[in-house]
Amino acid sequence: MEFESKILSKSISEMLYNSDKSLGTAESCTGGRIAEAIIAVPGASNYFKGGIVSYTNEVKERILHVSHEVLEEQTAVCEEVAKEMVLGAIEALNVDYAISATGVAGPTGGTPEIPVGTIWIGYGSKDDIRTIKLTEDFGRDINLAIATNTALKSMCSFLKEHEAELKKQEDEVSK
């Protein structure tokens, strides 16, 4: 695992370790790489409950409750699916926060409408889900590394925005 992923995972750990908040993942194209990066930090079991690798639409629908209609009309590589995967992970894993990834890592599988390198990252809480779209193709391995780091970086920023809430939780837990 690359150095940047470890630094980002450590930042997530520092924000969640002493809070009573939890994190999970729902990954398609990244195949568990985001979860792997998170658990690389000792103590991740204090806040990371698990991840779902939903590589097929069937798993997205059955386990994450992604809308069949959205998958049919927009494909699995769209913003709405990334958002529904976050909600599905929050529900299935009973977590406060979740990260999702769905896309076309390559080298094949792209279309003119959704070219290789298109990856949607979702992250947040049930009340505040955000997304980022990656569009550059640097080859499969680099596409997946960029998606993983982008997901971790985005979650770090999200948690920093909610740091006051996390500090309050941490103080209550330590009482």
Place 169 in a pLDDT band, splitting at 50, 70 and 90: low
Q: Is pLDDT above 80 for 171? A: no
Helices 57-64, 79-93: crossing angle, 10 deg rounding: 50
Q: How far is CA 32 from the centre of its chain?
A: 10
Q: To the nearest 10°, the Cα dihedral for 4, 76, 130, 134?
A: 40
CA distances (Å), 105 to each of 32, 77, 117, 136, 164, in order? 14, 11, 5, 10, 36
pLDDT per position as a tens digit, 115-157: 999 999 999 999 999 999 999 999 999 999 999 999 999 999 9
Residue with the bigger pLDDT between 3 and 79: it is 79
Q: Supply the mean pLDDT for the chain.
A: 94
Which DSSP state fits 31? T
Q: Is pLDDT above 80 for 173? A: no
pLDDT per position as a tens digit, 31-59: 999 999 999 999 999 999 999 999 999 99
Which contiguous run of DSSP H or E holds residue 169?
helix 163-174
CB atoms < 10 A from the CB of 111, how many?
11
What is the pTM (predicted TM-score) of this model? 0.94
CA distance 108 to 113: 14
Q: Output the pLDDT for position 3.
A: 87
pLDDT per position as a tens digit, 86-98: 999 999 999 999 9
CA distance 52 to 11: 22
Q: Output the pLDDT for position 175.
A: 58
Q: Is pLDDT above 80 for 159? A: yes
CA distance 170 to 173: 5
**8 A C-beta contact, residue 20 and residue 173:** yes
Place 2 in a pLDDT band, splitting at 50, 70 and 90: confident
SS3 163: helix
